[in-house]
Chain A
């Protein structure tokens, strides 16, 4: 496992991620190995406005990474029988039905009608929502009934909580700036599982007993290949590439959708405000993040370091002061 040198230098504690044998060898013989060429950060842009919910990404991921199938259990949760990301599920397509009169969601300012279907047209006509003779070309980009589909995946956070929580250094950043769990180092302590604000990483209870998640197909990337899910995606809803370029493209795409009247479209994880650095695997959503089970402000374990340290110091000071007070006599 090679690690991008600059980032290794920048990130305290990340020397844990260097293969110890390699480190030992290089300390003995001196650094003869030339540093790998600088490699731009790579990631996913998942554009949910193009997703057709075919789940080809799920199957391609399972196949390439040889992950076992989940037990076949019908959940009744729309067409989603996968349920959640986990140790053996690294892509998961969500299905969210927002259809017709039943939907009473919290879409502020939404024009979605809540009356019975047969009265909708007449009402829409009288209110002027649909003109008397509707102009055909004025059709909206999506019809008013919505079936939201999103292929979820590891976010490969720029500041990854799982990595911050990992006590063994099993979780590292690769030369592609992705977050990777070294299976031979992970001891299965599961600190990362509770640290991940997205519920991505999980311990493989039935198999390896280690923490597992999407590798962004590290083995494929090393050979210059596109990750399996992005390769299989028929509509380019999953796009893979250099994070900077993908982010520029995502912003451009958002502009196009806004121009076409999809006002509720938004980006998630493109800007730095999420986890103070953004996500290397980010999304274009057609609803608020909560609708997709995404936290608006995910917490970082390291955010607790300063306050926790502060109070420790305060406590120590108070104890110290008390000690001075008590033992003076």
Chain B
């Protein structure tokens, strides 16, 4: 659901085909019939943007018909936990939760979402699930109106077909069986994307499909190593290993404040101080010991708002951003509302583009979108553009971390041509030159840059390579893995007096369990610790495919665990739920957890361990609480804290929709960022007859994202030479559009032209008695490359999901007409 896996992930999809060959049932739920649907046992067409109704109805069905995995739900989730009496649901407030502030359009006060707590601060529970304030009963009320009839009315899915999906899931879950859920940007790129994923997670928790073999929620990432760039992040709101970037808007002026507001007293995150100190040590070396880390903590930039890519684009448009680095990013064609993106680029003083070819973004100053590519006047654009040649993936060494958290090392095959260099080379040498530039500065604010540890030279140049100054990628990996800063027998470590190792000579740490909060260890990303536990043993490079769980193939963070929370694969007493689904269990004789994977639980904590009152850290987690990253050790059906748009997934229509919300007066996500004050960001009104058609975007196997790498390749261009729109014969007949002819697609943001692919793979849906048409649009084209075409993202808008600031490219509205653009 929300994924076109066969086309967007053709290397991963064979695993689905293989599972199907072994008897698994594959269900594909998607607005358009794709190559994924062709291989599925069951294909269900759905209206784009209605996912939470479909999933919510399954949740309701499970709760009302005893379809959930009772023992799993009672013991491993927060179903039994009581929520505060002053909590108000969307059922009470017509689409809003308690704590909403209309002035700021946000949930300013989330305190009512919290648990009821006893004198020790521990959550109060009712294991009988009968208390009206327990999560189980709150969910029953919340989803009471998410009925099969509502699915039919809102999603356009006949209830029988929906029932077939629900029934298949129930029959293939429980003690003996498990079901997996795969999603991709079809879910994330919606104004309520996080809540759709939450709905999927709730369904999987109720079915007992988390932490067990064959279960789980697979987030199919947008492209290679996007997972890696979240773990060792290129994101503005995260430091490495999912520690938040400090914020100036929170009481986080000191390291202690930061730890108090970001860490947790109970559960695994109680180790937070060790991870942040080790990170500061890795970045700032000896200077990280000053004031027990406080000095170096102050050097970290503090957020003062939403600095995500898309939010920053508007800042750029306003002239507040002067310089821009683009590493493989192509906002002029690949980012939402790309007309605005190109306008924003014009406001820059300078921009550096590192890419394989001159992308749309690199060429924005002298070329414009099809069909008027010459309409741009370079003399009116002040931005100075530096286009630097980048190395391709085969021309550099490094790691990929993909969907299943698996880190895999990639070797370099050949030198990059000419002046092309790896991204690592570029960043390293840029850093070195900046450090040189500021070496003599007396400004206190420059001390961070001066103290930054930045020594990744190769010991000797790579044999046979003409590039002599390429940094050592393995040395970077060593820093990420972590190392001991001082000789182990030294007593003065952390005092600033001891002799510290250099990065190259330091002994590797074996894993994150040995990281300390006293400055004696350094670690660039605690979750990756263990990937490179000793010299010569880069586990990401290991390629042994033996065994049931392939533990010697690459390295899955954390600690090489293949399934997270795998304590849940055993019952509360530590016995496998069934022989068939045996995975991790308690060995009574050896008094430890064992099995086919690395147990995701303290190895020697018996299943009957009960925490004493007032326990902190991991001691506060009982022997039967698998979800150790959560302070209460439970899988969260209801999220008491951490989300910006509510504790339970609720159906809202997309920001642009042809229909009114059938469930609440609140039409769309009340906490989303709408940028209503931006004249360029016009949205079609609900049911606007000028824009009555739902449009969803997707990828084709033959091209990659905005085509910036693939549209230069004649072999690929011959396979998919032109932008086309897929539409049903009914819509084509209604609008007089001929198959193979041209058509214009318009939204309030712009117009594009495409070839018309009239196909039964798109079909009209009956929504609440009316026929709703949907069209599908790939987005691989632009004005550069050997084949050109309109930019699909010229149609999309800038309404951002509140938690992660992602655009809504998978469900918006448009109109179509035959012909071409003038």
Contact = CB atoms under 8 A, between A and B. Distances in A.
A140 B165 CA distance: 13
B718 A76 contact: no
Chain A interface size band reads 35 or more
Contacts of B14: 52, 234-236
B715 A54 contact: no
Interface stretch (A95-103, A154-162, A294-302): A95-103
B724 interface: yes
Contacts of A142: 38-41
Interface stretch (A63-71, A172-180, A213-221, A240-248): A63-71
A79 B168 contact: no
B73 to A, nearest CB: 20
Interface string A27-70: 00000000000000000000000101111101100110000111
Contacts of B228: none
Contacts of A135: 167, 171
Contact of A125 (B43, B160, B717): B160
Interface stretch (B421-429, B532-540, B550-558, B759-767): B759-767
Contacts of B6: 52-54
B729 interface: yes
B722 interface: yes
Contacts of B786: 72
Contacts of A235: 13-14, 17
B340 interface: no
Contacts of B766: 118
A78 B168 contact: no
Chain A interface, DSSP helix/strand/loop, else mixed: loop
B33 A59 contact: no
A258 to B, nearest CB: 15
Contacts of B33: 99, 145, 147
Interface in A141-200: 141-143, 145-149
B701 interface: yes
A234 B167 contact: no
B760 to A, nearest CB: 4
B702 A55 contact: yes
Interface string A66-101: 001111111010110110000000000000010111
Contacts of B41: 139-143
A121 interface: yes
Contact of B37 (A50, A69, A101, A145): A145
Contacts of A146: 38
B437 interface: no
Which of A101, A140, A234 has the most CB atoms of chain B within a 10 A radius of its CB?
A234
A192 B741 CA distance: 37
A9 interface: no
Which of B14, B40, B161 has the most CB atoms of chain A within a 10 A radius of its CB?
B14
Nearest to B158: A121
A137 interface: yes
Interface in B418-442: none
A50 B715 CA distance: 23
Interface in B699-726: 700-702, 714-722, 724
A133 interface: yes
B701 A81 contact: no
Contacts of B716: 59
Which of A73, A74, A130, A141 has the most CB atoms of chain B within a 10 A radius of its CB?
A74
Contacts of B158: 118, 121
A310 interface: no
B35 A147 contact: yes
A146 B185 CA distance: 25
B25 A73 contact: no
B529 to A, nearest CB: 33
A307 interface: no
A101 B729 CA distance: 11
Nearest to B764: A117
Contact of A137 (B166, B172, B759): B172
A136 interface: yes
B755 interface: yes
B739 A76 contact: yes
Interface string B158-202: 101101111111111000000000000000000000000000000
6 contacts: A54-B10, A55-B701, A69-B715, A81-B720, A99-B760, A133-B167
Given A52-B35, A58-B719, A139-B27, 11 more contacts: A50-B17, A52-B38, A59-B719, A69-B717, A73-B718, A76-B755, A117-B763, A136-B171, A139-B42, A147-B35, A235-B14
Interface of B: 6-7, 10-11, 13-14, 17, 25, 27, 33, 35, 37-43, 158, 160-161, 163-172, 700-702, 714-722, 724, 729, 739-740, 755, 757, 759-761, 763, 766, 786-787
Interface of A: 50, 52-56, 58-59, 62-63, 68-74, 76, 78-79, 81-82, 97, 99-103, 117-118, 121, 125, 130, 133-137, 139-143, 145-149, 234-236
Closest 6 CB pairs of A and B: A136-B168, A72-B721, A69-B714, A99-B760, A136-B167, A147-B38
